[in-house]
Amino acid sequence: MCGSCWAFSATGALEGQHSRKLGTLVYVNTLIVFLILFSSLSEQNLIDCTKGEPYGNMGCNGGLMDNAFQYIEDNKGVDTETSYPYKAKNGKKCLFKRSNVGATDSGYVDLPAGDEDKLKIAVATQGPISVAIDAGHRSFQLYTHGVYDEEACNPDNLDHGVLVVGYGKDDIHGDYWIVKNSWGEHWGENGYIRMSRNKDNQCGIASKASYPLV
């Protein structure tokens, strides 16, 4: 099993930033979401090419989205998914090819730690945001539908990278975030989870949030 959630979060955020230039901001009732129209970027590129120094990621053993954003800036790009497909394992070497670059960034922005209001503004104005959460509970792993509300979540125990793509309000369960996971469409609500919003930064949803600049 490859712990590459951080790479999926990073590529998703960068895809979203590029999509803002081509896509549309969509309002559906109380929801606000971005349609991601940009072509897919290579998670494997990030897994293989940010291991160790100077970026400090550990491939399938974990990593940080900001480190990935920094690599993409320094490298002047990340390859497309088609040219550098996902293997779900560490590659023996970095196989980046400049001719296959799909996108680049010029740095990244870290949002104020723990501030859900600032996260909401960023989602509405900037698009999908990379976040790290506490996903170590069985309730998260077995989530199927509804608004996820786990009181045992620790906002400082961040062990999983995901992508906040929108937010909304449920008549019964209240405010929530729309979060894209990287465990496939058969998990959760077609690969997404609605996580409690405005509940003291539950699961650390706003503890470590960032997005790349394009």
Just list the catalytic residues: 5, 160, 181
Which residues are paired to 101 by β-bridges?
79
DSSP, residue by residue, 112-128? PTT-HHHHHHHHHHH--
Element (H, E) at 31: strand 31-34
Element (H, E) at 138: helix 138-141
Torsional class of 188: left (φ above 0), alpha (ψ -120 to 50), beta (otherwise): left
* Cβ atoms within 10 Å, residue 192: 18
Integer Cα distance of 158 and 154 in angstroms: 8
Name which of 86, 16, 18, 15 is nearest 46 in CA terms. 86
